[in-house]
Each structure stands twice: as structure tokens, then as C-alpha cells.
Amino acid sequence: TASINVSGSSAIKIDWKQFSNDYSTDYPNSIELRLNTEQRQNQEIISGSQWSLHLLKDTGSMAHLELRVMSGSTLVSSSTDSGSFFNDEYTQIVVNKQTTNGDDVFTFYAKEGFNERIRTNVSGSLTVSGVSGWTSGSEIKVGGTNLTASIDEIRLWRTPLSESRIDNHTLLPD
């Protein structure tokens, strides 16, 4: 297997567009990647035109994820509890988006598999009323500002991933 090392201003840029012309709102509704970082610092992992996911250092090997989304002209955010991140293991990170009753509901997860069990398991959610920036812009970036990490298995999914599927991908990565 191979991974991509990202540091400094280097970034992985992915076209962010509709799957087909038949469905005007058929954008990816889940982003999944595996991340390994030992840099004990705040890092921006993924960003779109009006949203981003950050790894924020707590103490020791502990950190938490924070999702930030623009809702109109207001920045809203939500964080996970602290989990172990800086320990030379890959962490499965997933951001899902679903639209319910006109609101965008984001769920995000960080899970680390170790010895056939999930050792780190943190999650968060964020509901944004009105239009969010999820579908605006033409690309997403992994890295590009201050991320120093190895990245493996970036995937875009049409439908949000269930937590049981995320668990499966964490324990049995391709």
C-alpha cells in the first residue's frame, strides 16, 4: 500500500461537482479519508469553499475535530470530544451531509482501529438552517495550509455512510 504525504502548502485538490447532469443536487454526501499525523499542532484537514474540518490539539496525544460551516454570513461550528490522534496510527475520518426539512445536517467521525477493535471513537454533529456552502465552489482541498500528515484512501460517496459502515472501513481498510 502507499500513502500521500502532505505538508506545508501542498494539497490534494479534488473536483467538487455533480455526479451527473440529471440531478442538480446530486453532489457527494460523504467524504472519507484515513489520516496519520504525529504533528501535535492545530491542523486544517479538509476545506471547501464555505466549510472546513480541523484537528485541534488538546494535551499530549489528544485532540478533537471541529467542523466549521458558513450559513449565510454566519460561521457555525461543532466539535467532537477529545480522542487520541498523534500516535502513529491511521484514523478514519468521515464527514456526512444530509438534508432534512430544509436543514443541512452534518455528522462527522474519527475512529482508529487497533488490534481488531476501535480504540478511538469520537463524533459530532452540526445542523445548519438555510443554504450552506457544501455544494458551492469547484473543488475541495485536503491540506494546503498547515496539515502535516500521511493521507490514505480518500473517497467521495454519493450517500452518507452509516456508522456501521464507517466501523467496517476502520477495522478492514482496503
Q: What is the dihedral of CA 110, 173, 135, 5, to 10 degrees?
A: 80
Q: Provide the 8-state DSSP code for 132.
A: B
Q: Which amino acid is at 51?
A: W
How far, CA to CA in Å, does 73 sit from each of 52, 98, 102, 131, 165? 15, 21, 18, 10, 34
Tell me the mean pLDDT in the region 55-61.
Answer: 94
What are the residue ranges of helices labelled H in the chain? 163-171
Q: Considering the chain, what percentage of its residues have pLDDT values greater than 70?
A: 90
Q: Considering the chain, what percentage of its residues have pLDDT values greater than 90?
A: 59
What's the pLDDT at 1? Answer: 59
Is the C-alpha dihedral spanning 163, 164, 170, 174 positive or negative?
negative
Query: Is pLDDT at 114 greater than 70 in this prediction?
Result: yes
